[in-house]
Every structure is written in structure tokens, then in C-alpha cells.
A and B are shown apart, each in its own frame.
Chain A
Amino acid sequence: MLAWGDAGWGDEMARGALVTLAVAICSFAISLIIGTGTAAAKLSGFLPARLAADAYIVLMRGIPDLLIIYLLFFGGSMALMSVASVFGHTGYLELPIFATGAIAIGIASGAYTGEVIRGAFEAVPKGQIEAARACGMSGFLLFRRIQAPLALRYALPGLGNAWQVTLKETALISVIGLVEIMRQAAIASGSTQQPFTFYFVAAIAYLGLTLLSNRGFAAAEAYATRGVRRA
């Protein structure tokens, strides 16, 4: 059943797991970019930017990710078709599903990532910044040498959680047809009549990816806190 090659679905499922990992990494990268922007907006003194960031966070916290995927995929495809019709194309067009899915999940989880990053920057002790200023650092140098490294240390546990949530959310991209592990499991169960087997394999793949990335984040945390004294 799960044999490699033409006899079984082992290689297809493995490829599905790789697509899941790839789309999760892209989603998380997008969510980090959006999250950084959100955090910067919330920490800025510019009121409209703060309000926009707040509105974005409220929206993403309250609306199911599935709806956001539908909006981006169907809405984007409609927009693409109306642009194409200007150039005389009348057929059905749709957006690339991998990119659309990654962007949708990235937007949905960017609110969470943004709050993690903002919290981390706020946790940087004032004394550190004052000391850096006293040494003559300011602007980007202060950010690069003092604020960013410290904030990264504080943000790592939260970012680990955000990554796990993002990884699991990517399962939703299967509803628009991306052949990641969930979709692959659906295809395999359709032709073998063994849905439990394949969805269980998919579940184990998610668990494996989660546990592996937990280790990665634990190592990153150990590295980031190597200079911290422990009682």
C-alpha cells in the first residue's frame, strides 16, 4: 500500500509531505514579513498606521482562514479573468494555487506573528537602549546591534508556536486543489478505498514535522540564549 514506486503510494505521500513543508515555509516567510510590518506599524508614532495594524489584527483573529483562502483564490481569479478579458481572452483562468495558498495563509497568520514580534520588541529593556545610546549608537546601528538580536531572543518561543500553527493551517490549501499531503491522501484513498490509512499517514507526517521543528526551535533558542546567565 505504502510501497515506493508504481506499486504503492509511498513516494507520492512523501512528495506530498515535501509540498506541505515547502508551502508552510513560504507561508511562514510571508507571515514574518507581514508580521514585521504590522509590529513596526503598531510601535510607530503614526496613528493611521497603528489603527490600520489594529484593524488587520482584529479581522484576521475573527475570520476563519478558510474564508480568506476562498477570497484570495476566487477573488484573485475573477480579477485575473477581468484583466485578461480586456486583452481579448475569454476562457477560464485561475491563480497559481501554491502561491495563492501561501499568501492566504501568510496573511492569516501574519497577525499572530506580528503580535509576537511586537511583544518581543517591547520586552527589550529600556536600560539596554539607553546604554547603547550612551555608547553613541543610534538609528539603524542601535537596531541592528541591540534591539533586533534581543528581540529575536524573546520572540523565538512565540515564533515557534506561530510556525506550528502555520504548518497545520496549510492543510486548508488542499481545498483549492494544491496536491500537498492532505490532497495526496484524498487521491490515494479514492483509488484504494482505504481513507483511514492514508489520512493517518498524513496525520503522522504532520506530527513528525511538528516534532522535528520543535527540536529545531529548541536548538535555536539554546543558541540565542547562550549568553544568558541561569540561576
Chain B
Amino acid sequence: MLDFALMAEAFPAILAGTGTTLKLVAGALLCGFFLAVPTALAADSRSRILRGTAAGYVLFFRGTPLLVQIFLIYYGLGQFEAVRASIFWPILREPWWCALLALSLNTGAYTGEIVRGGLQSVPAGQIEAARAAGMSGLLLYRRIIAPIALRQALPAYSNEVVSMIKATALASTITIMEITGIARTFISQTFKPIEIFLVAGAIYLVLNFFAAQLLRALERHLSPHRRPI
């Protein structure tokens, strides 16, 4: 039988990890987005060096497991004397910043591809029309390209947000006490894996549900032309 008393006890404790999970998700998505836009622009640029750099970045971070990336940064970087002597060392030896860095670089690569897809989906006619109306450079991007690209990219980005929420579970492997980390501790203390799994799993499901709803609302807001009259 399920131990409901334990579940009631574990729920607030595991829920307390939600803040850490959400901070990781929000931080990684924000930093990832700022990586993604230059990556997408570089991937379509005329410079071969920029294209190559973007392609290499995307290939490495999409082609290897997130766990390797986290371990490379957290355990790996300390191998180099230059890193340990640098001003970044106080940051790079903290598991929190390493997890955030790895998650950001990872989602940056995936989001870069999503942004690139969005930019490519902007019809050439729209851009030509905007140019004919006298827009160019940043104005063209701000008024025409960015809004259309954002709208096109949003469904794929929703998937990326959900997978980021799931991916933060890996931060627990480098001692960060987010939802999965706390759940793992509870499992080894109580030897009741099923109860703890149900509690932690339910919290993740609720988080993902709200994230999906939020993004769907945003999608509807950005697509007034698809709304029924």
C-alpha cells in the first residue's frame, strides 16, 4: 500500500525545491536566448568563419548528452591551472553556476536552430514590401522580421521550454537540491521510491502544464489573424 503519511511529509519538502528548479529554468532560458539570436544570425551570415563557429557550437551541444556538458564544466574545467588561476574560478567552482552555464549553452544551441527556422520562415515578399516602404536595418528587423519569426518559432520554442524544465533534473547530479535532488535524498532515506516518485512527478507535471498553457496563451496573443471573428 502507498504510504500517504510519507507523501504528505515529502510534498512540502520537495515543493521547496521548485524555486531552485524554476530559477535554473528561467536563468538558462534567458541566457540561452541571448546566445541563440547571435548563433542564428551567424549561422546564416556570409562570413565563413561565423558560419563555421555557429555550426560547430550547435553540433557539439546538440550532439552530446547534457550530462557530459555539465560534467565537462563542473569537473573538467578545474583540470586546467589557467582556469583555476583566473578570475572566473570563484564562479566556475560553484555547482550552481556550472549547472546554469551548461544548461544555458545547451538550450542556446537548440534555441539557435529554432530562431534560425523562424527567421527563414519570414516570407521574402514581406521583406521586399518593407524595403519598398523605406524600412531597412534595425527598423526592418524590429517591425517586420522579428515579430513574424517569433510567431513562427513559438510552437517549437514551447517544446524547448518543456524539455528545459525536465533537463534541470540533471543539475541534481552535481549536488544541486532542486526537485529531483531532494526526491533522490528522500528515496535513499526512506526507501520508498514509489511514493516519492509520485510526489516529484506530480510537481513536474503541474509545472509543465502551466508552462505549456502560458506559451499557448502567448501564441494566441501573437496570432490575431488566426482568431475566429
Q: Which A residues have a C-beta under 8 Å from some C-beta of B? A: 58-59, 61-67, 70-71, 74-75, 78, 164, 168-172, 174-175, 182, 185-186, 189, 193-197, 199-200, 202-203, 206-207, 210-211
Contact = CB atoms under 8 A, between A and B. Distances in A.
Interface residues of B, number: 40
Contacts of B80: 196
Contact of A195 (B64, B71, B170): B71
A194 B208 CA distance: 38
Interface in B161-189: 162, 166-170, 172-173, 180, 183-184, 187
Contact of B64 (A169, A189, A203): A203
A200 B72 contact: yes
B180 A64 contact: yes
B57 interface: no
B19 interface: no
A195 B79 contact: yes
Interface stretch (B31-39, B112-120, B194-202): B194-202
27 contacts: A62-B162, A64-B170, A67-B180, A67-B183, A67-B197, A71-B197, A75-B193, A75-B194, A164-B63, A171-B68, A172-B67, A172-B170, A182-B65, A189-B75, A194-B79, A195-B71, A195-B76, A199-B72, A199-B75, A200-B76, A203-B60, A203-B68, A203-B69, A203-B72, A206-B63, A206-B65, A207-B64
A203 B67 CA distance: 10
Contacts of B63: 164, 206-207, 210-211
B79 A71 contact: no
Contacts of A193: 79
B147 interface: no
Contacts of B72: 195-196, 199-200, 203
B180 A199 contact: no
A195 B75 contact: yes
Contacts of B172: 66
B209 interface: yes
Contacts of B200: 67
B184 A70 contact: yes
Nearest to A192: B79
A185 B191 CA distance: 29
B204 interface: yes
Contact of A202 (B68, B173, B192): B68
B204 A64 contact: yes
A203 B106 CA distance: 13
Nearest to A195: B75
A175 B77 contact: no
A195 B78 CA distance: 8
| A-B pairs, 7 with minimum CB distance | A196-B76, A64-B169, A171-B65, A74-B193, A195-B75, A168-B65, A71-B197
